Amino acid sequence: MFDLHHKVAVVTGAGSGIGAAIATLFARHGARVVVLDRTDSAEATAGAIHDAGGEAMALRCDVSLADDVQRAFASIAHDRGGVDILVNNAGIAHVGTIETTTSDDLDRLYAVNVRGVFLCAREAVTLMLRKGHGVILNMASIASLIGLPDRFAYSMTKGAVLTMTRSIAVDYVKRGIRCNCICPARVHTPFVEGYLREHYPGREDEVRRALAAYQPIGRMCTPEEVAALALYLCSDEAAFITGQAYPIDGGVLVA
């Protein structure tokens, strides 16, 4: 089950956290992984995959820039012959209400979380249509499904990811392309730890416990748990699933 051999899987924002976990797990299941990130962390993830016996190539790419995305996917088409799987994982966060969110904040989040998904999905769809098949998986959030306090701009962008997911699914269901999204609650990533150090110095443990307690199950999700769900949704075992939003939330939506 979950055999990805001979499939080219592109994972954005795969230099760390959820993206790195997805890229690593996909490679373990045989995928020829392409690690995209805007920093040299892409090389680190690809190197770790190589060291574990997997196949990966790293490309630096800022998903908010059309030229960067076009260059990256042209390189993938040339070196790998196309794309079978795209995981749109790259994203950034913001804390604030509509009163405390500036126009620059909104534009910055939109550029990565919405425009980045659009640009990568558009390039991937073009290549997938040549093959007659493909899978796109977008990283949304429970913020796509419920209101979260102090997450105005972030929730806006993740709501857009959800509707893009459904639009792609509807437009290409007859042409061999599936599209779904994952909606995590809080995931314990290096980003979270960096956020705690920056905004709550000396109170990291206290705030970390509060973040964990938000999930009724009593902890944050791990990147590896998100990766396991991503593996299923991108595998042939999920061939009958498209246009869906999958929460992985520790009970938040049912509490």
Amino acid present at 142: I
**Which of 154, 195, 214, 246 is an active site residue?**
154
Tell me the two tokens of residue 115.
């425009």
Tell me how long the chain is. Answer: 255
Phi, psi of 37 (to 5 degrees): -160, 155
Whether residue 154 lies in the annotated active site: yes
Q: How far is CA 95 from the centre of its chain?
A: 19
Q: State the Cα angle at 13 between 10 and 16, rounded to 5°.
A: 115
137 vs 107: CA distance, rounded Å: 23
126 vs 175: CA distance, rounded Å: 12
Phi, psi of 154 (to 5 degrees): -60, -45
Nearest to 53 by CA among 27, 33, 76: 27
Pair 89, 22: CB distance under 8 Å: yes
Residues 6 or more apart whose Cβ sits within 8 Å of residue 225 = 248
Pair 2, 231: CB distance under 8 Å: yes
Alpha helices, H only, 34-95:
41-51, 66-80
Catalytic residues: 154
